[in-house]
Structure 1
Amino acid sequence: MNKKNIIKFTLDIAMAVLFITFFNKNLISFKFHIMGGYVFTAFILIHMFLNRKWIINISKRLFDKKLRLRVKISYILSVFLSISIFLIIASGVLMMKSTTYDRIMFWKMLHFGASYLSIALIGMHIGLYCNFIMNMFKKVFEIKKNNSTSKMLVNISVILVLIFGIYTTYKVEYFTKVTNTLTYVVQHITPQDIEKPEGNGYKKESPTFINLATTYGSIISIFAISTYYSDIAIKEYNKSKLTKKDNKKIVEEA
C-alpha cells in the first residue's frame, strides 16, 4: 500500500476527530480547544503539502476547457473549505483579543457560522472522494470484494444513516444556525455600540464526544451521501451521453 496514502488517510481521520471536539470547547478543556486549533492548523498545512502537486497543477489549469468539471468543482470546494477553516481559526483568535461586546459577538458568530458551514463543505468533500476513502478502508482492514449480501447491508446502512442525518439536521436546526450566525456577521461587519445583555440568555450544554460525533457526523453524512450519489448520477449521464454519441457516429459511418 502507498505510504503517502496511508499518511493522508491517517491524517484525515485525526483531523475529523479533532474537528468534532471543537463543537464543545470544554469537552476536554478550553486550553485543549485552543491548542487543538493550532494543531488542526498544522494538520491542514501538512495536508496541503502532501497534495501540493495536485494543488499547483490544478491551479495552473483551472480555466482549461479540457480539465474535467468534476476536478474543477473539487478544487473550488477545497478552496472554500480552506477559507472556511481559516475563518474559524482567525475568528477564534480575534474573539479572544476583542475588548468590546460587539466585536466579541461578531467574531463569535463568524466562528460558529464558519464551523457550521464547514460541516457541509467537509461532507461534500468526503462525497467526492468517497471511492478513495472506501478503497483505503478495504485495504487497511483487508476487506475482500463485495458480494450481494454486503452490498445490501451497505445500502441499508446508507439509508439508515441518511434518515438519522435528516432527523438530526432538523432537530438541531442546522440550517437555521448557519443562516442566523452568518446573517448576524453580515449585519454587524461595521462596529456598533451594543451593550452586553444581563444573564446568559441560554442554557449551556456539555455534550460528550459520542454525542458530538453522532450529531455532526450524521449531518456530514447527508452532504457526503448526497454528493456521492449525485457524482455517480452525473457520471452515468455523461457515460450514456457519450455512448449515444458513439452509436450515432457508427450509424452515420455505416
Structure 2
Amino acid sequence: MNHKILFRLVNDLVMTFLMLMAMAYYITGNMVHEVVGVVVLLLFIVHNFLNRRWYRAILKGKHNLRRILQIGINLLFLVTMIVMIVSALFISSELFPFISIDNDMMLRQIHVQTAYWGFIIMAVHIGLSWEMILNSLRRMAGITGTNRIRTIALRILAVLIVAYGVRSSFEGEMGSKLFVYNPFGWSSDDSTIRFLIDHLAIMGIYVCGTHYTLKFIHKQGKRVEKQSDIVL
C-alpha cells in the first residue's frame, strides 16, 4: 500500500478514537479531556493539510448528488470542529486558563452540543468515504477478488453493529444530548471500554446508513442510465 494512504488511514483512525475518548469527559476527567482535545486539534490540522487538494477542487468538475452531499457534509464537519475547538479554548481551565472566560454557560453549551453533533457528522463523513477505506484495507490485506461468504458475513456484522448501536443510542439518551443541554453533565457509570464500544456502535448506524444509501443511489443511477439507453 502507498505509504501516504497508510499514514492518512492511521491519522484518521487515531483522531476518531481520540474524539471518542474526549467525549468520555465524565470518565476520564477534565485534564485528560483537554490534553486529548489538543491532540485531536493537531491531528485534525494534519487531516485537512493532507486533503488540501480537495478544497481546491470543490468548484471543479461535475456535481452529482453524491458529490454535493459529500461537499456539504465535509464543510459542515469543518465548521462544527472549528466552533467546538474555539469554544473549548474559552472554557479551558487546565491548559489555557489565561484564555478562558469564567462561568460562561453559553460557551459550555455550544461546546457540548457541537461535540455531539460533530460526532454524528463525523460518522456520516466516514460513511461517505467508507468504500474508499474498504478498498484501501483490501489492498493492505492483499484481497483482490470477491467472496460471497465474506460479503454475507460482513453484512450480518454490520446489521448486528447497527442493532447494538440503536440500543446504545436509546440507553445513552443520544437524542437528548443532541437537542438538550444539561448544565450538570451527562454522567455515566460505564467503564471507558464500554463507553467506547457503545459509541463506536452508534457511529456504525450512521457509517452503515450513509454507505448503503450511497450504494442504493448509485444502483438507481445505473438503472436509469440503462433504461435511457434502451429508449434511445
Q: Quick check: TM above 0.5?
A: yes
For residue 32 of structure 1, what is the aligned residue in structure 2?
Answer: 32
Pairs within 5 Å for 1:33-112: 33-58=33-58, 60-61=59-60, 66-96=62-92, 97-100=100-103, 103=104, 105-112=105-112
Alignment partners' CA distance in 1, 2:68 and 2:19: 26
Residues 167-221 of structure 1 show CA distances to partners (whole Å, capped at 9, x for unaligned) of 111111111210113xx8xxxxxxxxxxxxxxx9678436433122112111111
3-state secondary structure, aligned to 2:142: coil
CA contact (8 A) 1:94 1:107 kept: yes
Alignment partners' CA distance in 2, 1:136 and 1:213: 24
When the two structures are superposed, what TM-score results if normalisation uses the length of structure 1? Answer: 0.81
Alignment size in residue pairs = 225
Alignment partners' CA distance in 1, 2:3 and 2:20: 26
**1:227 Cα offset (Å):** 0.7
Is 1:227 the counterpart of 2:210? The answer is yes
Structure 1: state its 5+ residue gaps.
Answer: 185-199, 250-254
**1:128 Cα offset (Å):** 1.0
Letter in 2 for 1:169: S
For residue 167 of structure 1, what is the aligned residue in structure 2?
Answer: 167
**1:35 Cα offset (Å):** 2.3
Alignment partners' CA distance in 2, 1:34 and 1:160: 33
3-state secondary structure, aligned to 2:180: helix
State the identity as a percent. Answer: 20
CA contact (8 A) 2:165 2:205 kept: yes
3-state secondary structure, aligned to 1:22: helix
Alignment partners' CA distance in 2, 1:87 and 1:5: 28
CA distance 1:169–1:26, change in 2 (3 Å): closer
Residues 88-126 of structure 1 show CA distances to partners (whole Å, capped at 9, x for unaligned) of 2122221232223xx2x2222211111111121111111
CA distance 1:231–1:202, change in 2 (3 Å): closer
**1:20 Cα offset (Å):** 1.0
CA contact (8 A) 1:26 1:33 kept: no
For residue 194 of structure 1, what is the aligned residue in structure 2?
Answer: none
**1:229 Cα offset (Å):** 0.9
For residue 95 of structure 2, what is the aligned residue in structure 1?
Answer: none
Alignment partners' CA distance in 1, 2:23 and 2:190: 9
Letter in 2 for 1:98: I
CA contact (8 A) 1:21 1:27 kept: no
When the two structures are superposed, what TM-score results if normalisation uses the length of structure 2? Answer: 0.88
CA contact (8 A) 1:20 1:209 kept: no
Q: Which has the larger radius of gyration?
A: 1
Letter in 2 for 1:132: M
For residue 248 of structure 1, what is the aligned residue in structure 2?
Answer: 231
